[in-house]
Amino acid sequence: MMIVVKNLKKEYIDDGTSTIALAGVSFTIEKGEFVSIIGPSGSGKSTLLHILSFLDRPTGGEYTFLGKGIEQMSDVELAGVRNKDMGFVFQSFNLLLRLSVYENVEIPLLYSTLPPAERNAAVEKAVESVGLSEKLYVEAAKLSGGQKQRVAIARALVNNPDVIFADEPTGNLDSKSGAQVMGILEDLNNKGHTIILVTHETSTAEFADRIIRIRDGEVESDTPVTKRRRSLDQFVK
Amino acid sequence: MRIKDSLKSAVDSLTHGKMRSILTMLGIVIGIASVIILMSIGQSAQDLILNQVEGIGSNLIFIIPGGTNGKLQSPAAAQGIVIKTLVQTDVDALSREPSISAVVPLVSGGANAVYGDNNLNITYQGTTANFFPVRNYVLAQGYAFTDEDVAAYNHVAVIGSDLANTLFGPNIDPIGKTIRLGNVSFRVDGVLKPLGTGPGGVDQDDLALIPVTVAQNQMLGINYFQYLIVSANPEYNISFVTSRIQSVLEQDHGITNSAEDDFTIETQAQILAVLGTITSVLTYFLAAIASISLVVGGIGIMNIMLVSVVERTKEIGLRKAVGATEGDILQQFLIEAILLTFVGGIIGITLGGLFVGLVYLILTYIVMTSWTFALPLSAVVLAVAFSSITGLVFGIYPARKAARKNPIDALRYE
């Protein structure tokens, strides 16, 4: 089992008033799954994603990732797991615009144990897999939104992680670019990567084989997708 | 993160905002340049002063009236207090000492030197014939006065080259002419070769040397000497000669306890040591003042780094999200700060060095002083080290601030 979450809680205390973002969430995700986490804003889905992706720690319950509990891991160890086993795709891309595509994709490798001699091949492979090889040395600022998100996906891929977390990856894109991005994620899932997608759009969520609905910090439903949406069904790739 | 990668990333981010980086560095550049300039000029001034003192001759010992009571202070005579304890019997007693080759008594005073319509305010020195070989004063024209002239109260004078020029001009031969010093007439017997500027910036070439007897009795109306110069016999070492002088003078003055000595003996080595200390302290004092500007420059760097940390909140969040630890972020921002100050330091050293070279050229070829070009290695090393340390010290706070950013907040920051 890749991800095991038991009664996960997150409470924020600010100026003496407490806000419960997660009120006890439980589920498991297996290796190779494509899971969408969906819910309205304020439902706690972003908090859940932050905890699942080791950017934040829960205030209660258990979270085990690849057999290791988050409680037992130091901040440096969490950073190591984020670097080696997780990839991130954000709604606002978060590219360093002054750097080239190559340099952006290389960033996770700077913090990895990969020998510098092997970086080049890894970066080129990742950029090729999102179809941007011809833009390798172009400054990130000069790319379109869709291209930026594809670079972000390449960056998430470069360390060949087990799981890719995507936080509203199509939120800032037009439908054509969004479809392209979803196509790439789908493709990655077919190649064995676990994908965890957070979104508020049902149509995007249906690319997954399973949808976890979150409302008021709890799991409202956890259902398989019967008719999985396919990028090729609707969009020209 | 490897240092090499941090360095590359620092270069990327600093060259991205070139103008800002240059302006930020300016404080450090100015600070380091001032440290270099002041240390270098201090060193050159020190060299100049010490060279002049060394020119006096290393076998010379100065005896100044008035004791120091064993304390570290200027002898009374040097503070302008008149002390009348050094007299002819002291000179006679010291002259009998085998470890001493010559004793030269000196008195001095100011007077207006007049020849025809020309005049110049000068300092005259009354001394004996030994003065010339002891001080290595060489004549350009004529001859020096003799001990017979001194004994006979002869009104003869040897004058400096500037004084000769002022009084006589290029066309009149000064030798044999009569000049007045105050109200007393002297026959010019000799003109000295140019000596240049002495310690303390005194022009040595506008002086007149006259027999000490004439100066004491007819000019100053005194019977004591203002100081004595002793030339040590080269067969004896200076500290032995110094101790002999002390016991001879103590005996002559009837002093039994050395703490009550009414004279002070100074060797050239002591004078050099004291001057060396004073000039070094001054040099470092100047450098310390200059380094205040480095602190100001450092604060400038800290400010800009803090702004940069805020501006790059998202970048920090992203780097942390993809695996950077707090240590990685700290390292990255510290290296940026150190790189800024290091490069600023190098530019500052270059500019400071150029300025010092310019000063050297001006002083040597236009003002014509014997200025030496000194860019002490210690100053360069100190400057580079100090500027990098400035980066480290003032970079730590912004870098820690960056390192501690929560990746979630950092990623959300717009």
Contact B319 A111 (CB under 8 A): yes
CA distance B321 to chain A (A): 7
Total count of domains within chain B: 2
Residue B335 has pLDDT above 80, yes or no: yes
B59 in a domain, yes or no? no
Q: Which residue has the higher pLDDT, B84 or A81?
A: A81
Q: Are residues B107 and B211 in the same domain?
A: yes
Q: How far is CA A182 from CA A161, A165, A192, A233, B157, in A?
A: 18, 13, 15, 12, 109
Q: Are residues B45 and B103 in the same domain?
A: no
Q: Are residues B225 and B280 in the same domain?
A: no
Interchain CB contact of B411 with A (< 8 Å): yes
Of A96, A98, A111, the CB nearest to B323: A111
Rounded to an integer, the average pLDDT of B247-256 is 87
Residue A237 has pLDDT above 50, yes or no: no
Q: Are residues B100 and B243 in the same domain?
A: yes
B71 in a domain, yes or no? no
Q: Are residues B298 and B255 in the same domain?
A: no
Q: Are residues B226 and B321 in the same domain?
A: no
B252 in a domain, yes or no? yes
Q: Of chain A residues 160-219, which have a CB less than 8 A from chain B?
A: none
Pairing mode of beta strands A163-167, A194-199: parallel
Interchain CB contact of A232 with B (< 8 Å): no
pTM for the full predicted model:
0.69
Q: Find which of A73-82, B37-46, B64-73, B355-364 is predicted with most confidence, using mean pLDDT.
A: A73-82
Residue B266: per-residue pLDDT:
84
Q: Are residues B175 and B42 in the same domain?
A: no
The full set of domains in chain A, from first to last, is: 3-230 (3.40.50.300)
Range of the domain at B293: 3-53+273-412
Q: Are residues B37 and B130 in the same domain?
A: no
Nearest to A174 by CA among A203, A132, A202, A144: A144
Q: Are residues B103 and B28 in the same domain?
A: no
Q: Which residue has the higher pLDDT, B117 or B71?
A: B117
Are B76 and B217 spatial neighbours (Cβ–Cβ below 8 Å)? Answer: no
Residue B368: per-residue pLDDT:
67
B70 in a domain, yes or no? no
Contact B1 A84 (CB under 8 A): no
Residue A231: per-residue pLDDT:
64
Contact B323 A76 (CB under 8 A): no
Residue A75 has pLDDT above 80, yes or no: yes
B111 in a domain, yes or no? yes
Of B204, B226, B261, at which residue does a domain stop? B261
Residue B158: per-residue pLDDT:
95
Residue B325: per-residue pLDDT:
93
Rounded to an integer, the average pLDDT of B51-66 is 79
pLDDT band at B278 (very low <50, low <70, confident <90, very high): confident
Distance CA B105, CA B87 (A): 9
Residue B400 has pLDDT above 50, yes or no: yes
B160 in a domain, yes or no? yes
CA distance B299 to chain A (A): 27
Of B230, B261, B292, at which residue does a domain stop? B261
CA distance B407 to chain A (A): 7
Q: Are residues B237 and B107 in the same domain?
A: yes
Of B261, B289, B312, at which residue does a domain stop? B261
B14 in a domain, yes or no? yes
Q: What is the 3-state secondary structure (H, E, C) of B11-70?
A: HHHHHHCHHHHHHHHHHHHHHHHHHHHHHHHHHHHHHHHHHHHHCCCCCEEEEEECCCCC
Give the end-to-end CA distance of chain B in Å, rounded to a whole number.
26
B75 in a domain, yes or no? no
A174-194 pLDDT tens trace: 988 888 899 999 999 999 999
Residue A215 has pLDDT above 80, yes or no: yes
Q: Is the dihedral of CA B263, B269, B271, B273 positive or negative?
A: negative
B290-309 pLDDT tens trace: 778 888 888 888 888 888 88
Q: Are residues B208 and B253 in the same domain?
A: yes
Q: Are residues B134 and B204 in the same domain?
A: yes
